[in-house]
Amino acid sequence: MLAEVGTNNLTVTDVWSLDATVDGKRVRRVSLHYVKKSYALSAILDAFDGWAARTYNQSSRFGAMLDQLTDRTALMALCMTLCRFYPQWLFWLQMSAVIDIASHWLHLHATDLTRADSHKQSSNPVLHLYYTSRLFLGFMCAGNEAFYLLLYIRAFWPGPTLFGVHLMSYLSAIAFPIALIKSLISIVHMVTAAQTVVLYDTNQIIMRDIEDKKN
């Protein structure tokens, strides 16, 4: 669950409490410390569940869908919160969420249509690297999650300043290229999956035409 307050008039004490005073009003919210721990735990469990499923031979279609669903909705919820904290970046945060949701949904849909054994199989060189290199996949996912989480933390606690720039701004800037590349990979996901679905539709039309001619 994410905090539901703005960042105006927050004191250091407010950041670590369950209540905050925003524009003179007392607002119930979740502790930033609790949010950080929960989101970090979610990321760790996300890496663990796939390993556990493979190790104990519990992999399933439903599990793969549920894994993607929980990941995407969690990030979407965080982006929705960030839209409130950073209204000047509203469009880009919305686009990030849209690309993330649309690309993964279409990719899984294409996987099901073609009855592929796994959604991690792809002939596209970018996606092949993304899914076959666990180091690269882990780095991209961790960096992407870190970027949005750092933005969330920055809204409440910008950190100490160095040369006039807050620590969280530095860290967010470092993580931003990773998040950007992750979004570009998602676009590759979307385009490749769309091509797969179009090819599937084309083959279905051809097959129907052949059947009609036989009849």
Kindly list the catalytic residues: 71
DSSP structural state of residue 123: S
Q: Strands 19-22, 165-166: parallel, antiparallel or unpaired by DSSP?
A: unpaired
CB-based contact 33:3 (threshold 8 Å): no
Residue tagged 């090819």 (tokens):
199
Listed residue (95, 179, 101) closest to 140, CA to CA: 179
Q: Is 21 helix (H, G, I), strand (E, B) or coil?
A: strand
Q: Strands 165-166, 161-162: parallel, antiparallel or unpaired by DSSP?
A: antiparallel
C-alpha–C-alpha distance, residues 148 and 183, integer Å: 13
